[in-house]
Amino acid sequence: MSLIDELTKKLEAKQDRLIEVRRYLHAHPELSFQEEQTAAYLKDFYKNVPVDSIETDFGGNRGVVVNIKGGKPGPRLALRADFDALPIQEETNLPFASQNKGVMHACGHDGHTAYMLILAETLAEMKDQLNGSVRIIHQPAEEMPPGGAKSMVEAGVLNDVDAVLGIHVMSAMETGKVYYRSGQTQTGRAKFSLKIQGKGGHGAMPHTANDAIVAASAFVMNVQTIVSRRIDPFDSAVVTIGSFDGKGQFNIIKDAVELEGDVRTLSSESRTQVEEEVRKITKGIEAMYGVEAQLDYVNDYPVLVNDEDVTLKVKEAIEQANIPEINAVLETGPIAPSEDFAYYLQEKPGTFIYVGAKPEGKEGFPHHHPKFEIDERSLLISAKAMAAAVASYLG
């Protein structure tokens, strides 16, 4: 029997346990950078699994890294699954809904962790048949900048690794379909805050003041032209002002206003360009309105760029594995949210693929929604798809 056939057969036999693990994790979610119990659960899971080494608190956070050495030398693959949850009160009414008030696995990271545990266990059991090695990266804190990935990469989690692979389950994509994309795939993100300090005064005598509300409003309107007038129409970017704190009273000229903005870009060029433009507009507002503007602009997750060769290899491996639960492997367009898997891809070639997880016969709620759900069939599909990728490298 070929490696992939044996792997998928073994995974199939573990489907009930896979779902059980996912439900346990779902009921016990923890916020980014606070995943103490989850990290302990992971460590405990591997107690009786024949892995070669396990490192905890990797990268100074709660990362758990597991090494599985194959019987013969060969490529060294890293597989990553994130395990943090979000500050959301769950409203799904599922029997295994969150037991932690105000915290919910509303992005599917419980599913990522569950399939990865079962896959890692299976690979460890069959390690004599692997030509090469697998490093399992259980990563905390994907949801909150600076993210868990960055410090793990800095601590050398990808040293001696040839390629890195990851999966995200997607509630908007039909269960049974797997999506891939090479090149620029998920946006890079920046956020900024701007404090505009003007000069307060009497509402009836604006000429004696420098109105911070008018200056801030001009800033808001001007940043709208970055995307429409400055970004190449074949590139794409988003600039959103999500907060404008200008509360005051009708007859008082506001002396200071604070703004917060969110920036998404799909190329490193537009990432740099948007920042430059925001800085330019800030200076312009100061000159025009006689205010002081203090800009704090922070780039966090980079643009996620999938390697072309790895993506093609993984796509073909999944197609050729003839996995009955997968009815199509399709190319996706770019995906708007940012993802800290991008840090791994800055370091090593790899690919991040998407597994359809839309619940059957139900309204699919978006990720980060209190009613977010995944179709649990996506867990076995994820495990099998990743197994196919592993087998194509280490078979």
Q: Catalog residues that contact Zn ion under the rule CB under 5 A.
A: 107
Residue type, 68: I
Annotated ligand binding at 143? The verdict is yes
3-state secondary structure at position 36: helix
Alpha helix (H) ranges present in the chain?
3-13, 15-27, 36-45, 109-125, 148-154, 212-225, 268-289, 308-320, 342-347, 377-394
Those residues with Cβ within 8 angstroms of residue 117's Cβ, 6 or more apart along the chain or in another chain: 21, 42, 45
Annotated ligand binding at 168? The verdict is yes
CB of 220 to Zn ion, least distance (A): 27
Give the active site residue among 35, 84, 90, 375: 84
Give the active site residue among 90, 142, 255, 376: 142
CB of 171 to Zn ion, least distance (A): 11
User: Between residues 107 and 165, which has the closer beta carbon with respect to Zn ion?
Assistant: 107
CB of 178 to Zn ion, least distance (A): 17
- Torsions phi, psi for 267 (to 5 deg): -145, 160
Assess whether 142 carries a catalytic annotation: yes
User: Between residues 107 and 114, which has the closer beta carbon with respect to Zn ion?
Assistant: 107
CB of 367 to Zn ion, least distance (A): 5
User: Distance of CA 306 to CAs 163, 187, 217, 240, 271, Å?
Assistant: 11, 12, 39, 26, 17
Annotated ligand binding at 331? The verdict is no
User: Between residues 152 and 394, which has the closer beta carbon with respect to Zn ion?
Assistant: 152
* Residues 38/25, Cβ–Cβ less than 8 Å: yes
User: Up-side HSE of residue 85: CA atoms within 13 Å toward CB?
Assistant: 32
User: Between residues 97 and 144, which has the closer beta carbon with respect to Zn ion?
Assistant: 144
Q: Which residue is nearest to Zn ion (CB)?
A: 107
Residue type, 156: G
User: Between residues 298 and 336, which has the closer beta carbon with respect to Zn ion?
Assistant: 336
Over its C-alpha atoms, the chain yields an Rg (Å, rounded) of 24
Annotated ligand binding at 107? The verdict is yes
Displacement of CA 327 from its chain's centroid (Å):
25
Assess whether 262 carries a catalytic annotation: no
CB of 111 to Zn ion, least distance (A): 10
Residue positions in the annotated binding site? Answer: 107, 109, 143, 168, 368
Residues annotated in the binding site for Mn(2+), as ranges?
107, 109, 143, 168, 368
Catalytic residues: 84, 142
